[in-house]
Amino acid sequence: MATTMLLRPDEERMFEGQPKGFPFEGFHMEDVMLPEDDDMDIPSDEDDEDEEEIQTETGFGSVVVVDNLPQVPPEKYEKLSGVVKKVISQAKVVIREGGFFMPVDEETKLSKGFAFVEFNSPEEALAVRQVVNGFKLDKSHTFAVNLFDEIDKYMRIPDVYESPEDKKFEPTENLWTWMMDKRGRDQFVVRYGDETEVHWNDAQRAQAEEVYKRSFWTESFVVWSPHGSYLATVHRQGVAIWGGPSFQRLHRFSHPNVRLVEFSPDEKCIISYSSREPSNPNEKAGLLLNVYDCATGQRLRSFEGSIDDYAVGSAATSDGSLKWPIFKWAANTFIARLGKGSISVYELPDMVLLDKKSLKLEGVQDFAWSPSQPILCAYQTEQAGGNLPARISLISFPEKRELRQKNLFSVSDVRLFWHPQGDYLAVQVDRFTKTRKSTFTAFELFSVKERDIPMEVLELPNRNDKIVDFQWEPRGSRFAVLHGEGPRPNLSLYAMRDMKTSARGVQHITTQAGKQANCIHWSPQGKFLVLGGLKAMNGQLEFFSADDGEVMNAAEHFMCTNIEWDPTGRYVATSVTHIHQMENGFNIWLFNGTLLYRVQRDQFFQFSWRPRAPTLLSKEQEADVVKRLKEFSKRYDEEDSKILEETDVAIVAERQRMMEEWKEWYDTKREWLEWHTQGLNQLLGDRLTEGDFTVEEVETELTIGTAEEIVKA
């Protein structure tokens, strides 16, 4: 027998006016009384239907719709299903069991020309759309792949075209006004704490002049574009670029949880990267790369997939994680990435795969583009158990023509170094000895812009020396090598041509022994370089002249973590970042090692010079400037002297202003002091001149207590 729940009298008063049995059983919903002006969030038929539509996920995030399929009869249904599944398998995903459905028209018995495919995760569905969308089955059928959740968005597109409203044109600020500074100064950006600041480097006054300052401008770091037109800031929602004298925001690029960004060499594009951790043990970590147009803010293309597919060869670290950058730019015409046994090259600005297929290179481990022309250098490891040698290839694009190749044997490792002007290519080859218990190093040097691309081999006097660093002179034919064992390696300078006759051939210039350094930093204009002893070497610095082959100055920036030349090659910045708890800040040095000024900042994160746009002068005009350098130098020396005089006058004027402010303050207080003193005289009279107290010496005796005791004999 069912038990009926009854209410006590005090509980019945709580539900007065409600039907009998409420709120348990035996009542009808129509009889329930709702409070006035409160529908309890229960919609009615009279509600306004023009409410703003809320977008929600349908729960079909892992389902895609493959459209533009052939319409086939029942006897070809299984064959077409197999073809579609095989094409989808190129995305390296697994279709969920029972997750493939291709509808059939009940009247004609033909398939309807589309299919629904379900995967194990939304990320796999995104990967399939990336790989399969646009696949050309035949002349009449090109696959169109869309996420199921996006179908509703397409269905809401009106049948009748409605022209968008014209937006009012708002001109942007001049992005290059900073290049027109009358004194030819350069800017830099610093980050410390929650602050981001842009400054002029005012070397004549030995100070940093603030240009712009903003708190919480970025959540991680900032990046200048290669010509200095934009400054990119990174946020959890995406990336923003700023420019102009007031650093107004120009565009925002949506990319949640973005971690890294990079501009193209011509500043036309920007690429952003984010990673995704696996949600279960069977799922792989994924990544998302977006390429945007900096001028319009439009996304040009996205790359999605597993990190394992991108962490290949030189794009992977020793622990298998991804190494940045993933994509490499080529002379503003191509962008490429490394794959397993291939290099995928995309044409700019359409981001279309060149010839619709990747360049197949078995065992390819690394590649690098020439900075000046679309020539790619690729390194392939030894194949077939060492029977096929390792290989260095120079390939011209877009024709994919091999210009030069070199076979290498017993290779342990290879590193590629392009000259900044694209004139030369250095290939550092570490080879095994015959016993394969140790390695030695040699350099394969290619003169890329000469006929037939001649190649020379350079071995150091002690070929067993460890190569600490290798750097080309940015303008010229020289290069510097730090080599040797122990904490004090040697510095050797070489040239690709004879410095006197210009005859081709590697020439040894000088070797300096026992340098306390682990990195080389050439001036952007060449001639000078800084040897830095970073990290464990506690910031030892040597300012070296390559022309004279001698040290100009030796200095120290204790615990220095970074060294960076300004674009003109006149000044050097050294900094200590937050990885050290003390001495955070930066120093500005003259090219010869003279310390100009230092700035201390707690929690210092970043220092970065603003790059300069390429010169508009021709080579003839540049040569004329060099020829008349003494004439220009005299004028600039006069301007510098005038600036220093103005600085002295400004300092004197500032001191005078501070003195006048103090006198004004003193005059206001003097009136109060006179009034106060007069009041004290009236109140105290002669006692005021006697002072507040007098000191007298007094001797006193104090008996603490007495006691009598009987002494026994």
Domain locations in the chain as residue ranges:
63-155, 315-329+349-459, 481-614
| Per-residue pLDDT reduced to its tens digit, 108-149 | 999 999 999 999 888 788 888 888 888 888 888 899 998 888
Q: Report the pLDDT value the prediction gives residue 238, as an integer from 0 to 100.
A: 92
Q: Report the pLDDT value the prediction gives residue 77, as an integer from 0 to 100.
A: 92
Which among 573, 381, 371, 541 is positioned nearest to 472, based on CA atoms? 371
Q: Report the pLDDT value the prediction gives residue 690, as an integer from 0 to 100.
A: 63
Confidence of residue 246 (pLDDT cuts 50, 70, 90): very high
Q: Report the pLDDT value the prediction gives residue 669, as an integer from 0 to 100.
A: 83
Topology (CATH level 3) of domain 481-614: Methylamine Dehydrogenase; Chain H (2.130.10)
Q: What is the mean pLDDT of residues 142-165?
A: 84
Q: Report the pLDDT value the prediction gives residue 535, as an integer from 0 to 100.
A: 80
Question: At residue 538, does pLDDT exceed 90?
Answer: no
Which position has the token pair 């969030």? 41
Paired residues of 705 in beta bridges: none
Helix (H) or strand (E) holding 260: strand 260-263
CB 272 within 8 A of CB 290: yes
Buried b (16+ CB within 10 A) or exposed e, 75-112: eeeeebbeebeebbeebebebeeeebebebeeeeeebe
Question: At residue 183, does pLDDT exceed 90?
Answer: no
| Per-residue pLDDT reduced to its tens digit, 496-506 | 988 777 778 89
Confidence of residue 51 (pLDDT cuts 50, 70, 90): very low
How far apart are the C-alpha atoms of 77 and 425, rounded to whole Å? Answer: 56
The two three-digit tokens of residue 237, written as one number: 């929602």
Question: At residue 712, does pLDDT exceed 90?
Answer: no
Total residues belonging to the chain: 713
Question: At residue 160, does pLDDT exceed 90?
Answer: no
Q: What is the mean pLDDT of residues 639-667?
A: 81
How far apart are the C-alpha atoms of 559 and 575, rounded to whole Å? Answer: 9
Q: Report the pLDDT value the prediction gives residue 602, as an integer from 0 to 100.
A: 93
Paired residues of 196 in beta bridges: 191, 214
How far apart are the C-alpha atoms of 442 and 427, rounded to whole Å? Answer: 8
Q: Report the pLDDT value the prediction gives residue 194, as an integer from 0 to 100.
A: 93
Paired residues of 571 in beta bridges: 590
pTM recorded for the entire structure: 0.72
Q: What is the mean pLDDT of residues 570-581?
A: 94
By mean pLDDT, which of 95-99, 263-267, 479-483 is the weakest? 95-99
Which among 529, 439, 533, 528 is positioned nearest to 488, based on CA atoms? 533
CB 261 within 8 A of CB 221: no
Cβ neighbours of residue 38 closer than 8 Å, sequence gap 6 or more = none
Question: At residue 44, does pLDDT exceed 70?
Answer: no
Share of the chain above pLDDT 90, in %: 53
CB 588 within 8 A of CB 571: yes
Q: Domain 63-155, CATH 3.40.50.10490 — does that match?
A: no
| 657 CB neighbour count, 10 Å cutoff | 10
The two three-digit tokens of residue 447, written as one number: 């003169």
| Per-residue pLDDT reduced to its tens digit, 363-389 | 999 999 999 999 999 999 998 777 889
Which among 606, 514, 494, 556 is positioned nearest to 222, based on CA atoms? 606
Q: What is the mean pLDDT of the chain?
A: 86
How far apart are the C-alpha atoms of 658 and 650, rounded to whole Å? Answer: 12
Question: At residue 400, does pLDDT exceed 70?
Answer: yes
Question: At residue 40, does pLDDT exceed 50?
Answer: no
Which among 199, 154, 46 is positioned nearest to 599, based on CA atoms? 199
Which among 425, 433, 486 is positioned nearest to 450, based on CA atoms? 425
Which position has the token pair 């194990």? 120
How far apart are the C-alpha atoms of 337 and 72, rounded to whole Å? Answer: 39
| Per-residue pLDDT reduced to its tens digit, 256-310 | 889 999 999 999 999 999 988 877 777 788 899 999 999 999 989 989 888 888 9
What stretches of 137-256 adopt beta strand conformation (E)?
144-147, 187-192, 195-202, 207-215, 222-224, 231-234, 238-243, 248-254
Q: Report the pLDDT value the prediction gives residue 642, as an integer from 0 to 100.
A: 77
Q: What angle do CA 337, 258, 220 make, to 5 degrees?
A: 115
Which among 185, 209, 182 is positioned nearest to 198, based on CA atoms? 209
How far apart are the C-alpha atoms of 151 and 24, rounded to whole Å? Answer: 44
- Higher local confidence (pLDDT), 135 or 320: 135
Q: What is the mean pLDDT of residues 473-484?
A: 94
Question: At residue 174, does pLDDT exceed 50?
Answer: yes
- Higher local confidence (pLDDT), 690 or 704: 704
Give whichever of 1-15, 432-446, 656-670 has the largest mean pLDDT.
432-446
Question: At residue 43, does pLDDT exceed 50?
Answer: no
CB 209 within 8 A of CB 202: yes
Q: What is the mean pLDDT of residues 331-357?
A: 90
Which position has the token pair 């590193």? 415
CB 440 within 8 A of CB 464: yes
Q: Is 544 left (phi over 0), alpha (psi -120 to 50) or beta?
A: beta
How far apart are the C-alpha atoms of 545 and 530, rounded to whole Å? Answer: 9
Which among 459, 423, 424 is positioned nearest to 441, based on CA atoms? 459
Q: What is the mean pLDDT of residues 478-483?
A: 96
How far apart are the C-alpha atoms of 368 and 327, rounded to whole Å? Answer: 10
- Higher local confidence (pLDDT), 471 or 21: 471
Q: Is 43 left (phi over 0), alpha (psi -120 to 50) or beta?
A: beta
